[in-house]
A and B are shown apart, each in its own frame.
Chain A
Amino acid sequence: MKNRVIVLFLAVLLIGTGILTANGKSDGAAAEGNGLITVGYAQVGAESDWRTANTESFKSTFVEANGYKLIFDDAQQKQENQIKAIRNFIQQDVDYIVVAPVVETGWETVLGEAKAAGIPVILSDRMMDVSDDSLYVAWVGGNFLKEGQDSVVWLNDYLKKTGRDNEKINCVLLQGTIGSSAQVGRTKGITEGLAKNSNYNLLAKQTGEFTQAKGQEVMESFLKAYDNIDVVFAENDNMAFGAIDAIKAVGKVPGKDIIIVSFDAVHEAFNRMIAGEINADVECNPLHGPRVAEIIQMLEAGKSVDKIMYVKEGVFDQFNAKEIMPTRKY
């Protein structure tokens, strides 16, 4: 009895995954000699707004009108799907392969195959940990360290504008999940930026694990420990939303009594900026397509490219949120 149930369950599981992978297969059109540059893009999946915007950026950049043909593959967060997709790209003899790797390790073999086939590989968003960095041509992505620094630069300007640049400013920092690249880069950028100016005093930092619930809980604790907080840095928007609720709960006005600087700049954050609850938001730009196209054009022209290519990332605040919001893609 027990065995039969388990076998039945496994069978259902097998059929289920079979259907899923069948859906996940790429469009499969082969490259043809019609003067178009064929690009294969192995995307992570569609797990967030950010990822969807990233995909959209590639789909709108690599169109036939611009001289490209894009073969898109959605790996549904699985490395083995990505490896399969890259092998498909090699078989189809594409001109360039772009990968947004799901994980950092385990890529040597398949990238070696691409190299042997003479197809340049460009990485997007996340890095790969490979022993031989000639396996890929370039990496395109955001610069978390610079995002952190930019947030402090914005604060400097804002305080100067509001005439508070000689005051003592007490800051607290809601960190992301400890060890994630966004947390490491942003924390470093912020803490180093604050240390440069003796007016700034970083009272405390604590992880809110990138979630709204934890962001609120930690901010509640900060507010009890310190009654003189002037600025909150939240390393993503969700934690900023939580911090806003905690600040409102003690009867203070977020954005006025306490300045809130956040990161990512998702759609909901623009609503909050327009409402005046978030003062500034540093973007984590998902629009990698144009940057990758730039690299491909340079390679086509026979020029060499830098290994690390950052995308442009803006800082938005209450003053420009309203006009920028309609142009946002994510």
Chain B
Amino acid sequence: MSDTLSLIKSKGRALVGQRLFLPLFALFLVLIVNVIKTPAFFNISIQNGVLYGYIIDIINRSSELVILAVGMTLVIATGGIDISVGAVSALSAAVCVRLLGSSYDNYATPMVLAILAALAIGMICGAFNGLLVSKLRIQAMVATLILFTAGRGVAQLISAREIGGKMVPGQIIYVRMESFKGIGGFLPKVIVPTPVFIAAAVVLIFYLVLTRTALGLYIKTVGINSRAGRLVGINSTFIMFLGYVLCGLTASMAGVISSSRIYSSDANNIGLNMELDAILAVALGGNSMAGGKFSLAGSVIGAITIQALTTSLYAMGVTADQLPVYKAVVVVLIVSIQSEELKRWISARGGKKA
């Protein structure tokens, strides 16, 4: 009897000690409040031929953030940061929509080509960031600040429409074809929203590449000590560069999904403040902002937690003016329970008592 008890105890301790325990615990806490406040929160049904429920909303709406968080994790792991992802999303979305055109009958460019072009733009932006950071050794915050401010401007220039005989930039351009809505909505006869598939595929592919090849190890090494990495023969410059290119790629994927959701390019609003949410997701996932060791799963859980919080607050009917306050309180709580210093303090107190 005492054997099983001690087994449970040691298992429990091992569980708490797990790296992902705290991020998961935070997500669990956010969701559990709904059991009391909104009992119907966990209901999932099929309505109008597709899955329906708050939980589905969370998974669906967090897709873009999950994808962004994957790219952001890599950049942060190399010791950098990318604050241009929101603007790059807007830019890629603008390119995609511009190429598709707003004809009711057919696309100006085949959809596959338009999406590939959007992804290429994302990677070019990432390469630009990567070049500034890895080759020219400009601080990551400063280097990515350039696209953070300029990217949205370029997106607005691309989203120009003729009004009263002249081209006016910064307009919302609508895609009139139904098939484009499938990326951010549902594919025919599929009950799961398409963005969920895309996000899952991105996470899976990145996870496999990072764990099955040496890339993950290289990234960690560069983040912990890039000079030491160079001395053992790792091309730190290239690894850093690659991180930004991949981050640009994920940003453009998120942009295409966002624009498909609203079947238009809204250069002012697509990806707005998403760079901050992506960084927050990485932080909530228990990753160090200083780089080095990282957990992709942690970032994904972080991203879902952020969306779960938003959806929960909507479901509880929190008024708009109080929304940011609730969010701030929860984020402060989640970040502090993960603080090493706080853990040390608590265990020290516990030690004294015992």
- In the complex, chain B residues whose CB is within 8 Å of the CB of A262: none
Taken residue by residue from 25 to 67, chain B's Cβ proximity to chain A (1 for < 8 Å, 0 otherwise) reads as 0000000000000101000000110101110010001000000
CA distance A220 to B261 in the complex (A): 13
Q: Least Cβ distance of A211 to chain B in Å?
A: 5
- In the complex, chain B residues whose CB is within 8 Å of the CB of A49: 163, 168, 171
* Contacting residues of chain B (150-197) with chain A, CB-CB under 8 angstroms: 163-164, 168-172, 174
- In the complex, chain A residues whose CB is within 8 Å of the CB of B18: none
- In the complex, chain B residues whose CB is within 8 Å of the CB of A221: 54, 57, 311, 314-315
- Known contacts A2-B138, A221-B311, A250-B48; decide if A56 and B172 are in contact (CB<8 Å): no
* Contacting residues of chain B (262-277) with chain A, CB-CB under 8 angstroms: 262, 264, 266, 269-270
| B136 close to chain A: CB less than 8 A | yes
Q: Which residue of A lies closest to B137 (CB)?
A: A2
CA distance A207 to B319 in the complex (A): 8
* Contacting residues of chain B (209-263) with chain A, CB-CB under 8 angstroms: 258, 261-262
* Contacting residues of chain A (138-191) with chain B, CB-CB under 8 angstroms: 175, 178
| B12 close to chain A: CB less than 8 A | no
CB pair B57 A213 closer than 8 Å: no
Interface size on A, residues (CB 8 A): 38
- In the complex, chain A residues whose CB is within 8 Å of the CB of B50: 249
Interface size on B, residues (CB 8 A): 37
CB pair B47 A206 closer than 8 Å: no
CB pair A175 B320 closer than 8 Å: yes
| B108 close to chain A: CB less than 8 A | no
Q: Least Cβ distance of A121 to chain B in Å?
A: 27
| A225 close to chain B: CB less than 8 A | yes
Q: Which residue of B lies closest to A45 (CB)?
A: B170
CB pair A224 B264 closer than 8 Å: no
- In the complex, chain A residues whose CB is within 8 Å of the CB of B137: 1-2
- In the complex, chain A residues whose CB is within 8 Å of the CB of B201: none
B320: contacting residue among A1, A205, A238, CB under 8 A: A205
- Indicate the member of B138, B163, B266, B270 with the most A CB atoms within 10 Å: B163
Q: Least Cβ distance of A194 to chain B in Å?
A: 16
CB pair B319 A268 closer than 8 Å: no
Q: Least Cβ distance of A228 to chain B in Å?
A: 15
B48: contacting residue among A2, A53, A251, CB under 8 A: A251
- In the complex, chain B residues whose CB is within 8 Å of the CB of A205: 319-320
CB pair B168 A249 closer than 8 Å: no
CA distance A329 to B163 in the complex (A): 9
CB pair A48 B170 closer than 8 Å: yes
A46: contacting residue among B54, B168, B261, CB under 8 A: B168
CA distance A86 to B47 in the complex (A): 59
CA distance A175 to B323 in the complex (A): 13
CA distance A22 to B319 in the complex (A): 46
- Known contacts A49-B163, A212-B266, A251-B48; decide if A2 and B320 are in contact (CB<8 Å): no
CB pair A268 B174 closer than 8 Å: yes
A211: contacting residue among B266, B319, B323, CB under 8 A: B266
| A242 close to chain B: CB less than 8 A | yes
- In the complex, chain A residues whose CB is within 8 Å of the CB of B136: 1-2, 5
Q: Which residue of A lies closest to B270 (CB)?
A: A213
Q: Least Cβ distance of A154 to chain B in Å?
A: 24
CA distance A221 to B52 in the complex (A): 11
CB pair A213 B258 closer than 8 Å: yes
CA distance A53 to B165 in the complex (A): 12
- In the complex, chain B residues whose CB is within 8 Å of the CB of A2: 136-138
CB pair A224 B53 closer than 8 Å: yes
- In the complex, chain B residues whose CB is within 8 Å of the CB of A313: none
CA distance A281 to B314 in the complex (A): 26
- Known contacts A211-B266, A250-B48, A251-B48; decide if A220 and B163 are in contact (CB<8 Å): no
CB pair A212 B53 closer than 8 Å: no
CA distance A205 to B54 in the complex (A): 18
CB pair B262 A213 closer than 8 Å: yes
Can you identify 10 A-B contacts, CB atoms within 8 angstroms?
A2-B136, A49-B163, A49-B168, A49-B171, A175-B320, A206-B320, A217-B61, A221-B311, A224-B40, A224-B52
On B, residues with C-beta under 8 Å from A are 38, 40, 47-48, 50, 52-54, 57, 61, 136-138, 146, 163-164, 168-172, 174, 258, 261-262, 264, 266, 269-270, 311, 314-315, 317, 319-321, 323
Contacts A218-B314, A221-B315, A250-B48 given; 18 further ones with Cβ under 8 A? A2-B137, A5-B136, A49-B171, A52-B164, A56-B164, A178-B321, A206-B319, A206-B320, A207-B323, A211-B262, A216-B262, A217-B61, A220-B57, A221-B54, A221-B314, A224-B54, A225-B317, A329-B164
